[in-house]
Structure 1
Amino acid sequence: MRNRNFLALKIKLSVILVSTSWSVFANTKTFTSEKLETADSTPKQVEIFGSKSEVDARRDSIAGKIIIGRKSIEESGVSTAADLLKRHPAVTVSSNGKLGLMGMPGHTQILIDGIPATGGKDPLELDVVHIENIEIVRSAVAEFGPFGSAGTINIVSRKINRRTTNSLRSSIAGGPQGSGADIAWSTSMFETGSPYSYAAQVSLGKSRQHKFESSSLSAQGGGNFMTLVERNATDRREDVRKLLASSTFAWQRDTENKFSVEPSAFVMLSESTASTASAWLPTDRGPSASSEISRSPLHSFSLPLKWELTLPKRAALTLTFSPTRFSYRKDLDREETFVSLPPRSQQNLQGSDRRTDVLRANYSRRLEQHALKAGITQLRNREDTEYRSFLNGLPDASLNTFGTSKTGTDDKISIFAQDEWRFSKLMSINLGISAERRKLDMNEGIFKTRIRYSVISPSANITWRQTTDAKDQIRLGIARTFNSPFNDQLSARPTINVWSPCPAAGLCGANTPDFADTVGNPGLRPERAIGLNLSFEHYIGEDSVITVELFDREFKNAIGKHLQLMPVPWADSPRYVIRPENLGTAWSRGIGLEAQINTAEVWKGMPKIEVRGAVSFAISRISLVPGPDNRVAGQSPWTVKLGTGYGFAVIPLKIGFDMNLSPAVWTRSSEIKRDYKNQRFDLGFDGSWTVDPKTKLRFNIDHLISSNLDGSEQLLDGDGTILLRSASRTVEPKIGLKLEQSF
């Protein structure tokens, strides 16, 4: 009944706003919106520079699109997209450290240039030297496709500037838990009157992480006392080397035709070692010591080709073909010693080659009151992965049914159409529809996975202000969206827990819930959602805005991780496994207060201090998971973030700090499993010294004050025993120094 009443409220609110918009339209004379084109009606790219333009662009965007422009990126002094987004009030940092919108990282869509990342790149780990701007939309718009139930973060690749520029950044960082160094260079060559232009960016980095973790496993039987079962301490070191080079070569053939090629290459090598000392009761239950060595090289290369065609009547067509080739290898060796048993060794080898081809066509046309967009994208991803697993030097027979290879073809066709209709100076509407059809065929030994589905997502965003010069604005967004399962979530091939391996001679035996295997679910269905965002924005001056936003999401076929005991093809008796499941219906509702303020605009006579912050509250429930704590994974009951920046008038120094806080939280994922995350508090400090107009020195202290990353898992065994596994990792400060030069 509660959900029905809320749905009725959403329908009534939509009808009222649409009726109001029609009334305003019927009583308002038509007008000519501000032109963004040149006198010859050729569409012109709008470049966002500085906080003033960003705030104005947000106010003018019907869907409330937030843009972090190139100037803000350069002034931030951060190195990666993740560090940049952590500072922004619109982005929440959950108790597990993941970034998302509205506290739902698992439902936030992250794109690069409007499509999911290819070539093994983690979008959030991209060096900012490769980023032109970042777009954030908490509602849904058709141009970003039918996915992203909690909004979209779109990272736009670096473009050619309309001026010749060169910049160089070098940095070092270190602390008790690791060190690193990187260098980034960018250049752009553009001459007025020349048909040729060029831009390139290169980032090279090396880092070493040193983590010391401790954990314990305790059991509680019929009494109230916990008995220690296992305790271990792990010393882990990881070395990562990265190289990313990207460039753009453009040729303006004439006023209508522009051709460009944008090659990029990415190379990463990760090497890690870990040693664990363990104590067990009884002593023969597990190894007394273990060690792991892994090596994972990754290579990818992309060669996008683009044709931009300017059409009559203020229209434009862009055709892009982007082939990507990706190669990944992972070698893992594990050695274990026991008190009263012979030593045991495990070896896992994996080699994966993927080919991704993307063909896109985007059309746009601007009329006096309309901005039309439409597009179609065809993506084909082909994968060929080889596996080799050994126990004590012999092939792992428990995985024979899955063969030694996995092959698959994933075909997607996506289309969208969108109209931004500014039918009065007081009200505008963004109407769109997007759709995707997916065909996935995957072969893993005797297991054949065949996925077919089509989804359609309508969306509507409305903005309204009382007068043309009003500082206040109301937005409403309603959309039907989806979450599509990843390929790994559909794979039938398991990852067998290293603490409960199978004998090399045959199938596995039983395991316990604390040492569960992980596996995908070929029967997983796409998650459907109906979403509503209602916000009130108050603009102050040119750089300040305060936003209050309500959101609601209703999910069907909600996707979550589920721990269960079930028959499996790699064992002769049921084993505990963790796999993705459709957990029935779910809902999430919340409210957020966000502020981006220049104090000189709010209080006359005050010095110019940048203040940014956000407070959010949310509740959520999942129907097929018993309570309490059956909330959407990753969503905290509340979060707080605060940041400041102040530039001194008498010296060329600017300082600032950023703080993120989220509470300790329990999350229940199944009938027998609950997870606990400790309160998360993190405070960082940064500063910059302008040596001259072309040279800037930056310094920062990450985790200046930070809480430890403590967590627990509570499991209910089949015989009523409660198992509690606790883990802890200390977080230490890290000091960094950067030198930036332009020439």
Structure 2
Amino acid sequence: MKHLLLLFLAASAHAQDDMQRVEISGSATQALRRNDTAAKIVIGRADIEQYGDSTVTSLLKRQPGITISGSEVRMRGLGAGYTQLLINGEPAPQGMSIDSVAPELIERIEILRTASAEYSAQAMAGSINVILRRSTRPQRDIKLAYENLQGIDSPAATLQVAGRDDALAYGLTGTISDSGFRNTSGTTEQTRDPAALRDIADLNISRQAKLNLAPRLNWSLDGGDTLAWQNLLDVVRTRAHGDSYETDVSGPATAYPLNHWRSASRTNFLRSGLTWTHNLSAGKLTAKLGWDYNHRNTDYLFQGAAADATPRLARSVISSANDDSVTTSGKYLSRIGAVHSLALGWDGADTRRGEVRQQHDSAADGAFLGELLQAYQARVRRMALFAQDEWDVTPGLQAYLGLRWETLDTRTEGAALTPVRNRAGVFSPVAQMMWKLPDQERDQIRLALARTYKAPPTRDLLPRRYTVNNGNSPATPDVQGNPDLRPELAWGLDAAYESYFAQNGSLSISAYARSIRDVTVQRLFQQNGTWVTTPANDGKASTMGVEFDMRARMSTLLPGAPPIDLRANAARNWSRLDAVPGPGNRLATQTPLSANIGMDYQTSAAWTLGLNAGIQTGGTVCVSDRLSSYTGVTRTLDSYALWKIDRKRQLRFALLNMLHQQQLAGQAYDDGVYAITRNSTTPGRVGIRAVYEQQL
């Protein structure tokens, strides 16, 4: 890691001294939100940099209607495919974590509450569009960061270079980091028939070295045409290990009361896209061609022992998962008269996923116990045609009408598997309206109606078994894919009232409702004495919610108050799953309530202070008539201090998770004969972060 930091410093030594910072201001982001017909929240560079966050999920958790579960981002409380992730307006590869993109590579983030015909209709809860940096104005910036979370040191460095040479503009943003986490948890497990009570202590440690690069080139061609080449490279090397210690209070022990595991994974991701823009007499044509390469290889070793530390099992696993996609899209945009902006286009992708898993089991003396080889392939072809019209009906009324036809063709095959093929077509009309109230140009009302869908990810189509090494039970089952999965379909209605006032102040109150069919649920069953869960389509569901968002300068609310910028948001979500009896039969991944309140105070030209308090509830969810899960409340308190040393240098400090609240989770199963409950507690620790930035 030290050598990587030295390389970044050496590269920046040749930078010029007259470059200026370019970023989107708060007023510009508000204008993007206010004037677009589609309801959206725009997060500019100022908000991205505010706390010096090292991951995108860390900065998104403060946004209205956004909740985080692990590294999964949820809108309207829904994740697991309900929230669509876009990169530069194009769907991100399946299985890609948003945290794969370093915040330093991002120009802005758009949170879209409803679907549009141009983007994929896989946005049942909404979309998060990550716009990578595209500035071609000359600049040289360097950023050095240090973070300590859960007792693990995590340094990082970023270099940004941009410039122009006649018709060629170029840019490069790169980040290197060496991060990690240390997680300790305690679990109490109780069973009936057989009766047992045991306590389990777990320790998990991971370190991750990451390189993010986002090179870009832009050519200005003869005749006004442009050609842009945008790339995103993510190279990750992860090493992790963990230990589990079981104390049996009563009843029999599990097969391996003492166990240890370790793993090493290598992930390489590349997205490369070429965009050609051609001006026509009556409009503009844009065509894109892209390629995604996402390969992961993992080596894993599990060692299980008896309570007296006598070795019993050694299980080694070599696995790989490869996703490769070719994408194409295009749009013809034409202005018809003074009130219509018409767009016609296409969007397609051909994705291939292959998974191989080879498992070898041996006894303590090296005796061979068994071997398992799994190899599967899935191919998903997606093609869509769309048309949309942005219509200025009157000076105060804007309308958006769109139609999208999207087809999905999935094929799954593998060892001992009869090839499975599914075809589906989704017709997605979209209508949106924005009405500026008469004599109240700062107040407006939005309405939107759209049909959306949630396609099964390719990893869920592969019947590969992810096994639990110790203590298989209804609460900790093996996981297996299902090649017969179908897309979920939904009709959705959104409404919002927005008010904008002095000094970038805004107020928004919105509501939504969705009616879903062919909902994906987890089916739990026993196979040869082993508990297994697999996704399956089962019936209908409905979900609805309300959201509140406010930003204001305190002095506009209380004359004479200090110049403190206030932020407050809250979201309440409800859902009902028809296939599961109530109470608690809501969608399993939905967060019922989330809220944030924050403030920023510029005490002087050199110093700015801020803090944010957040809450995210959980509660009990009935996964089936026999299985339920529980998630505790999460409360967070973060603060930061920004010191602008001079015009080109600044230093940022942050304290994270200042409440160091423990996390609670549990599962319970009862079929009338056998029963099991598991309750886990994970303690939290205060984290620190320091970020130094300099224009060179």
Structure 1 pair 597–228 and aligned structure 2 pair: CA distance change class (3 A):
farther
User: How many angstroms apart in 2 are the aligned matches of 1:700 and 1:365?
Assistant: 48
Deviation for aligned residue 1:514? 3.3
Task: Measure, in 2, the Cα distance between the counterparts of 1:200 and 1:95.
Answer: 31
Matched, 1:670 2:642: no
Counterpart residue type for residue 197 of structure 1: A
What residue is the counterpart of 1:15 in the other structure? none
Q: How does 1:458-473 map to 2 (within 5 A)?
A: 458-467=429-438, 469-473=440-444
Could you tell me how far apart the structure 2 residues matched to 1:386 and 1:176 are?
A: 34
Partner of 1:160: 135
8 Å Cα contact 1:120/1:298 also seen in 2 = no
CA contact (8 A) 2:636 2:659 kept: yes
Change (3 A) 1:556 1:116: same
Deviation at 1:449, TM superposition (A): 2.6
Report the TM-score, using the length of structure 1 for normalisation: 0.85
In 2, Cα distance between the equivalents of 1:112 and 1:395? 47
**CA separation in 2, counterparts of 1:678 and 1:301?**
37
Partner residue in 1 for 2:5: none
Secondary structure at the aligned position of 1:173 is classed as strand
1:636-680 deviation per Cα after TM superposition (whole angstroms, max 9, x unaligned): 33222111111113x511111112112341111111111111111
CA–CA separation in structure 1 for the residues paired with 2:231 and 2:512: 40
Shift of 1:95: 7.1
Instruction: Give the Cα–Cα distance (whole angstroms) in 2 for the partners of residues 79 and 434 of structure 1.
Output: 37
Aligned CA distance change for structure 1 residues 658 and 255 (closer, same or farther; 3 Å): farther
2:524, 2:531 within 8 Å by CA — same for their partners in 1?
A: yes
8 Å contact 2:412–2:483 — kept in the other structure?
A: no
Please give the secondary structure, in 2, of the residue aligned with 1:353: strand
Could you tell me which of 663, 683, 691 is aligned with 2:637? 683
Specify the SS of the correspondent of 1:103.
coil
2:259 maps to 1:278: no
Kindly report which structure 2 residues correspond to 1:503-652, keeping only aligned pairs within 5 A, or say none.
Answer: 512-565=473-526, 567=527, 573=528, 575-649=530-604, 652=606
Structure 2 Cα separation of the partners of residues 705 and 473 of structure 1 = 39
Taking a change above 3 Å as real, the CA distance of residues 492 and 385 of structure 1, as seen in their structure-2 partners, is closer
Find out whether 1:266 has 2:240 as its counterpart: no
- The equivalent residue for 2:385 is 415
> What secondary structure sits across from 2:91 in the alignment?
coil
Question: What is the DSSP-based 3-state SS (H/G/I as helix, E as strand, rest coil) of the residue aligned with 2:658?
Answer: strand
- Aligned 8 A contact 1:95 1:664 in 2: no
CA-CA distance at 1:585 after TM superposition: 0.9
Q: Deviations over 1:57-88 (max 9, x none)?
A: 21211112222223443455333322221222
1:154-207, CA deviations, whole angstroms, 9 ceiling, x for partnerless residues?
A: 11121033x21111111001254322011011111036xx21111101010001
1:728 match: 681
Matching of residue 704 in structure 1 with residue 678 in structure 2: no
Name the residue aligned to 1:353: 322
What amino acid does structure 2 have at the position aligned with 1:353?
N
The verdict on how the C-alpha distance between 1:176 and 1:137 changes in structure 2, with shifts beyond 3 A counting, is closer
**Displacement, 1:98?**
4.6
Deviation at 1:555, TM superposition (A): 0.9
> What is aligned with 1:216?
188
User: How many residues are aligned here?
Assistant: 667
Q: Is the 8 A contact 2:668 2:676 kept in 1?
A: yes
Alignment RMSD: 2.3
1:438 aligns with 2:399: no
The answer to whether structure 1 residue 116 and structure 2 residue 84 are counterparts is no
Aligned equivalents of 1:330, 1:686: Cα separation in 2:
38
Rate the CA distance shift 1:58–1:285 in 2: closer, same or farther, 3 A: closer
Contact 2:304 2:311 in 1 (8 A): no
Greater shift in the superposed pair: 523-532 or 115-124: 115-124
Inter-CA distance 550–264: structure 2 relative to 1 (3 Å threshold): closer
Which of 428, 452, 467 lines up with 1:481 in the alignment? 452
The residue type equivalent to 1:209 in the other structure is F
Q: Counterparts of 1:97 and 1:614 in 2: how far apart (Å)?
A: 21
Select which of 266, 287, 300 maps to 2:269: 300
Match of 1:333 in 2: 301
AA aligned opposite 1:654: T
Task: State the 1:301 CA deviation.
Answer: 3.0
- Match in the other structure for 1:87: 62
- Tell me, yes or no, if structure 1 residue 497 matches structure 2 residue 430: no
Q: Which runs of 5+ in 2 are unaligned?
A: 1-21
Which runs of structure 2 are paired with 1:27-426 in the superposition (5 Å)?
49-75=24-50, 77-88=52-63, 90-93=64-67, 98-106=72-80, 107-118=82-93, 121-161=96-136, 163-190=137-164, 194-220=166-192, 228-280=196-248, 281-313=250-282, 315-339=283-307, 343-367=312-336, 368-392=338-362, 399=372, 404-426=374-396
* Displacement of 1:469: 4.8
CA distance in 2, matches of 1:637, 1:382: 36
Letter in 1 for 2:513: D
Query: 2:458 corresponds to which letter in structure 1?
Result: N
How many angstroms does 1:425 deviate by? 1.1
Distance 2:460 2:426 in 1: 19
Larger mean Cα displacement after TM superposition, 605-614 or 728-737: 605-614
Superposition deviation, residue 601 in structure 1: 3.4
Query: Which amino acid counterpart does residue 131 of structure 2 have in structure 1?
Result: V
More helix by share: 1
Residue 52 of structure 2 contacts residue 654 of structure 2 at CA under 8 Å; is this kept in 1? no
Report if aligned partners of 2:94, 2:457 keep a CA contact under 8 Å in 1.
no
Which whole-Å CA distance do the structure 2 matches of 1:249 and 1:383 have between them? 30
- Give the secondary structure class of the aligned counterpart of 1:52: helix
**Structure richer in strand, relative to its length:** 2
* Cα separation, 1, equivalents of 2:409 and 2:369: 32
Q: 1:283, 1:339 within 8 Å by CA — same for their partners in 2?
A: no
**1:529-551 C-alpha deviation (Å, 9 max, x unpaired):** 11111111111124111111111
Percent identical residues: 22
1:501-545 deviations in whole A, cap 9, x for unaligned?
xxxxxxxxxx64234211112222211111111111111124111
CA contact (8 A) 1:474 1:534 kept: yes
**TM-score, normalisation: structure 2:** 0.91
Counterpart Cα distance in 2 of 1:740 and 1:211:
30
SS at match of 2:48: helix
Local SS of the residue matching 2:356? strand
For the residue of structure 1 that corresponds to 2:465, the secondary structure is coil
**1:200-259 deviation line (CA, Å, top 9, x unaligned):** 01010001211111112113579xxxx653221111110101001121112111242112
Cα distance in structure 2, aligned partners of 1:119 and 1:200:
25
User: Match of 2:524, as an amino acid?
Assistant: L
Tell me: CA distance 1:475–1:720, structure 2 relative to 1, closer, same or farther (3 Å): same
Q: Distance in 1 between matches of 2:115 and 2:23?
A: 22
Whether the 8 Å CA contact 1:552–1:590 is kept in 2: the answer is yes
Task: Give unpaired runs (5+ residues) of structure 1.
Answer: 1-46, 501-510, 568-572
Q: Distance in 1 between matches of 2:232 and 2:66?
A: 31
Q: Report the Cα distance in structure 2 between the residues aligned to 1:553 and 1:212, rounded to whole angstroms.
A: 39
CA drift of 1:286 comes to 2.2
- Alpha-carbon distance in structure 2 between the residues aligned to 1:527 and 1:398: 37
Q: Amino acid of the residue matched to residue 272 of structure 1?
A: A
CA deviation vs aligned residue, 1:349-389 (integer Å, no higher than 9, x gap): 11233322112212222342122223212211223333211
SS at 1:287's partner residue? coil
Contact in 2 for aligned 1:95/1:636 (Cα 8 Å): no
Q: Which stretch shifts more, 270-279 or 352-361? A: 352-361
Flag the 1:406–1:576 CA change in 2: closer, same or farther, 3 A.
same
